């Protein structure tokens, strides 16, 4: 842990040596921050959260209560992890077989939201501003701005950076009703214009 404490940690939180925690971050009741992880600035780590070794959380990441973030996970800035969602880190776990050296990487890109009780099977990246519905089980890559739901998760639409469903016209254009930002859908890829 760094020498100068510029973050808040509840007295019941356990913060192991060797982790880096950014300025303005808050860590709440009964959470465990394990060695060699990196947590950015202005993050909020809810109650009963586990952040495993070598996990990287960018700036302004919001982690709700009862979330497990296992080794191999990288979350870029402005990611939202909903209550009780979970990441896996081994594709074929067995109690009697040690696979600690086989952790798969999962990258959650900037601005993505993962809903309550969702499961992200390891090795499948989540695109920028993607929206994973509550209870979804992600078993494959999720494109930027995609809205996915269900078990297994399937794409049912597109979302704006502000979290609104995008309705594309015949020219492949959509406007976010909150921000007024414009989006284009071309060849199955959404981009902000």
Residue pLDDT, tens place only, 4-31:
689 999 999 999 999 999 999 999 999 9
What's the confidence (pLDDT) of residue 101?
85
- Residue 188 pLDDT: 95
pLDDT value of position 4? 64
Q: What is the 3-state secondary structure (H, E, C) of the chain?
A: CCCCCCCEECCCCEECCCCEECCCCEECCCCEECCCCEECCCCEECCCCEECCCCEECCCCEECCCCEECCCEEECCCCEECCCCEECCCCCCECCECCHHHCCCEEECCCCEECCCCEECCCCCECCCCEECCCCEECCCECCCEEEECCCCEEEEEECCCCCECCCCCCCEEECCCCCCEEEEECCEEEEC
Domains and CATH numbers, the chain: 1-93+101-159 (2.160.10.10), 161-193 (2.20.70)
Residue 5's pLDDT is what?
81
Model pLDDT, residue 79: 98
- Single out the residue of 32, 7, 11 nearest to residue 22, CA to CA: 7
Can you give the C-alpha Rg of the chain in angstroms? 17
Q: Which residues does the chain have with pLDDT short of 50?
A: 1-2
Q: What pLDDT score does 100 carry?
A: 86
């Amino acid at each position: 842990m760094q020498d100068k404490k510029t973050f808040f940690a509840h007295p019941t939180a356990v913060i192991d040596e060797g982790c880096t925690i950014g300025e303005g971050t808050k860590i709440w009741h009964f959470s465990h921050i394990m060695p060699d992880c990196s947590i950015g600035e202005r993050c909020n780590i809810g109650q009963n959260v586990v952040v495993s070794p070598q996990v990287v959380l960018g700036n302004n990441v919001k982690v709700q209560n009862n979330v497990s973030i296992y080794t191999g996970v990288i979350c870029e800035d402005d990611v939202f992890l909903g209550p009780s969602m979970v990441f896996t880190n081994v594709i074929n776990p067995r109690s009697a077989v040690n696979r600690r050296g086989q952790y798969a990487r999962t990258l959650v890109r900037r601005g993505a939201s993962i809903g309550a009780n969702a499961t992200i099977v390891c090795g499948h990246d989540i695109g920028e501003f993607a929206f994973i519905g509550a209870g979804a089980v992600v078993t494959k890559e999720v494109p930027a701005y995609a809205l996915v739901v269900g078990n297994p998760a399937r794409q049912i639409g597109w979302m704006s950076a502000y979290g609104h469903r995008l309705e594309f016209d015949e020219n492949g254009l959509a406007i976010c009703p909150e921000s007024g930002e414009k989006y284009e859908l071309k060849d199955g890829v959404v981009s902000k214009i």
